[in-house]
Amino acid sequence: MVTGTSRGIGAAIALELARRGFTVGCLTRGGRSFVENPAPEELRPRLLEETCDVTDEVAIRRALHDVAERGGGLQGLVNNAGAHIIGPAAEYSTADFQAQVHIALTAVFVGCREAYPLLCANGGGMIVNIGSFFDRVGVKHNAAYCAAKAGVGGLTRSLAVEWGPDGISVLNVAPGYILTAVNRDYLARESTRKYINSRIPTGAVGTCEDVAHLVAALYVEHLPYLTGETICMDGGHSISH
């Protein structure tokens, strides 16, 4: 099951998992996945689309159970859906802060909690939370987002310890700057390119497919001894002095 598959990283992850032979539940708020690039015809039988607003825990529970029943059980969940609400901290409203934490952290917890009995019924499995390298750096106008993503790392560690005896591993994949339709114009700016060249050791931003290949590889290889970790995928950005 993958949340937020309408576009970007979520869509790429769902498609890559399907290419690797998995049946993938694709959860989106509007009920439509792959709105930017339609899924190849040969993969469509493995892609089960479902409408689900991840900020509604009743909807999450229903979607997880419905798609698990359609797909013959649940092996894994990728918590990818999210939003990015920016603004100066001194002017940031409490409502906006709570909204950011709700979509980026609370919804991840609810997804994990509701997936837990389904994974147990399957004999175990793996949850991959999509965090961000912002969980380890300070970023202007991103106090709420950074706090929420740091929370995802803490949640991942705690659930990994608690659910390890049940055969469930929990990981946090934390991408750096990833090229998507949303940020393409920003990343194309000359000032942004100069910053990327000076700050990211690999000299480039990542792609949605980069993240998708990592997540799919984790599921294909099935490494239960790897759990609780945050795997940062940012071209060395967050560790570059």
Q: What are the pLDDT digits (tens) for 66-97?
A: 999 999 999 999 999 999 999 999 999 999 99
Architecture of the domain whose range is 2-236 = 3-Layer(aba) Sandwich (3.40)
Distances (CA, A) of 55 to 81, 152, 160: 10, 15, 23
Q: What is the largest CA-CA distance in the chain?
A: 52
Domain residue extents for the chain: 2-236
Average pLDDT over residues 107-125: 98
Q: At what angle do helices 8-19 and 208-221 cross, to 10 degrees?
A: 40
Average pLDDT over residues 146-169: 98
Instruction: Please report which residue ranges of the chain form alpha helices under DSSP H.
Output: 8-19, 57-71, 94-101, 107-121, 143-163, 184-188, 190-199, 208-221
Prediction pTM value: 0.95
Query: Residue 172: pLDDT band by 50, 70, 90 thresholds?
Result: very high
Q: Where is average pLDDT lowest: 127-136, 145-154, 185-194?
A: 185-194
User: What is the three-class DSSP state of 166?
Assistant: helix
Instruction: List the catalytic residue out of 145, 177, 195, 219.
Output: 145
Taking the CA atoms of 144, 146, 149 and 153 in sequence, report the sign of the dihedral they define.
negative
Query: Residue 186: pLDDT band by 50, 70, 90 thresholds?
Result: confident
Q: 145 an active-site residue? A: yes
Q: What is the mean pLDDT of the chain?
A: 95
Better-predicted residue by pLDDT, 42 or 31: 42
